[in-house]
Every structure is written in C-alpha cells, then in structure tokens.
C-alpha cells in the first residue's frame, strides 16, 4: 500500500543523507521525496512516499524515529489528509494542437506558464493521480520534458505536525 510519511527533522547538513541512507540500507523503497526548510529555519519538513505492508511501514517509521536528526514524524495516510504534487511539463504545441492542449490544460486547471511558437510549458498541481492523468491526456508524442516535485502532504483539520 502507498504511504505518505511526513518528517520534521533538524535542518542540518547530513540529515537528509541519513534518511535516504536508511531507506537504501534497509531495502525500503522511495517513490518520491521532497524536502525544504519550514517557517522555523532550524527545522526541515521532508515528505516521502513509499509502499509496503503494515509491518514494513511500522519498521520504516520506527527506524526513522531512531535517527537522531528526526524530531517527529507522521504517516499521513493513517488519517484524513491532503496531498499535492507540482508538475512542470513542456509539450510540442503547433497548429491545431495548440488549442487542443490549451483546452486540456484548462480541464486539469493547469496554467501555461511559458510559450514559444512551437512549445508550451505548463504547470499542473494536484494529486499524483491527477498528474498521471494529465500526462496521459497530452500523450507521449507531444511531451518534451516532465519535471515533478514529488508529493507534499498535510493533515486535514486541526491536526498539525509541529514541535
């Protein structure tokens, strides 16, 4: 099962490599990974999506918690949560295609953020599924380049992950 684990950790050099190292060392899979400092610049927020059964996920969270740099973590998929991923995608857009792609962008509530006579650069945000669907809708033939940010997530409602 796919899980989103959100980690609050010390914003220090080496902290990220410890987290990534833990996954490779113990044979856990990383599907996506994002990390950036929070409003408190001594802390970073890291979001990792991974897959595994309950036993494996329990081991992952326990081992992450053992890392000295990790302050707190939550498995967002255990509760109600919101997830978003950002995609920048560059597509061929010439002739009749231009209007067709623009329509598609509108349907997916994306934005064309850069234009040339032959190329659109599009920004789409949403769940990973939605981004997958957009890629499919545009079609392989048109795609020149895809950049995805990896998943960021946050709990719904009052629940927060903070100190």
Partner 1 sequence: MLSGGDMLIRSLKEEGVDLVFGYPGGAALHIYDAIFRQDDVKHVLVRHEQAATHAADGYARVTGKVGTVLVTSGPGATNAITGIATAYMDSIPMVVISGQVPAEKIGEDAFQETDMVGVSRPIVKHSFLVKHASEIPEIIKKAYHIASTGRPGPVVVDVPKSTVNPAETFPFEYPKKLKMRSYTPAAKGHSGQIKKAVSMLLEAKRPMIYAGGGVILGEASHLLTELAQKLNYPVTNTLMGLGCYPGNDKQFVGMLGMHGTFEANTAMHHCDLILAVGARFDDRVTNTTSKFCPNAKIVHIDIDPASISKTITADVPIVGAVDSVLKEMLELIKGSDETPDESALADWWKQINEWRERHGIYTQSRYNTEGEQIMPQDVIKTLYEVTNGDAIVTSDVGQHQMFAAQYYPFKSPRQWVNSGGLGTMGFGLPAAMGAAFAVRDKDVVCVTGEGSIQMCIQELSTLTQYGLPVKIVCLNNQALGMVKQWQDMVYDSRYSEIHYEDSLPDFVKLMDAYGHVGMDIRKKDELREKMEEAFAMKDRVVFVNVYVDPSEHVYPMMVAPEGSMRDMWLSKTERT
User: CB of residue 124 vs partner 1: minimum separation in angstroms?
Assistant: 36
- Measured distance CA(135)–CA(120) in Å, rounded: 14
- Measured distance CA(55)–CA(60) in Å, rounded: 9
Residue 38 in contact with partner 1, rule: CB under 8 A: no
- Measured distance CA(18)–CA(64) in Å, rounded: 9
Cβ-based nearer residue to partner 1, 147 or 163: 163
Cβ-based nearer residue to partner 1, 66 or 141: 66
Alpha-carbon distances, residue 11 vs 40, 64, 71 (angstroms): 9, 15, 10
| Sites for partner 1 among residues 62-101 (CB under 8 A) | 62-63, 65-66, 68-71
Cβ-based nearer residue to partner 1, 39 or 140: 39
**What is the Rg, in whole angstroms, of the alpha carbon atoms belonging to the chain?**
18
Query: For residue 68, how many other CB atoms are within 10 A of its CB?
Result: 9
- Sole binder of partner 1 in the list 29, 37, 40, 58 (CB under 8 A): 58
Q: Contacts from 123-126 at CB under 8 Å and sequence distance 24+?
A: 123/86, 123/87, 123/88, 124/86, 124/87, 124/89, 125/84, 125/85, 125/86, 125/87, 126/84, 126/85
Q: Which stretch binds partner 1 (CB under 8 A): 13-21, 29-37, 98-106, 136-144?
A: 13-21
User: CB of residue 55 vs partner 1: minimum separation in angstroms?
Assistant: 7
Residue 13 in contact with partner 1, rule: CB under 8 A: yes
Cβ-based nearer residue to partner 1, 43 or 119: 43
Residue 141 in contact with partner 1, rule: CB under 8 A: no
Chain positions contacting partner 1, by CB under 8 A:
9-10, 13-14, 17-18, 21, 25, 55, 58-59, 62-63, 65-66, 68-71, 163
């Amino acid at each position: 099962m796919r899980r989103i684990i959100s980690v609050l950790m010390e914003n220090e050099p080496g902290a990220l490599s410890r987290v990534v190292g833990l996954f490779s060392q113990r044979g856990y899979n990383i599907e996506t990974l994002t990390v950036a400092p929070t409003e408190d610049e001594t802390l970073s927020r890291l979001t990792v999506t991974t897959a595994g059964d309950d036993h494996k996920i329990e081991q992952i969270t326990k081992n992450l918690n053992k890392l000295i740099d990790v302050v707190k973590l939550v498995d967002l998929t255990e509760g109600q949560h919101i997830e978003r991923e950002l995609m920048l995608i560059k597509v061929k857009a010439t002739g009749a295609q231009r209007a067709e792609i623009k329509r598609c962008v509108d349907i997916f509530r994306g934005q064309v953020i850069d234009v040339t006579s032959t190329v659109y650069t599009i920004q789409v945000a949403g769940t990973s599924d939605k981004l997958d669907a957009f890629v499919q809708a545009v079609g392989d033939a048109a795609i020149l380049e895809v950049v995805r940010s990896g998943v960021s997530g946050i709990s719904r409602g009052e629940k927060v992950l903070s100190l």
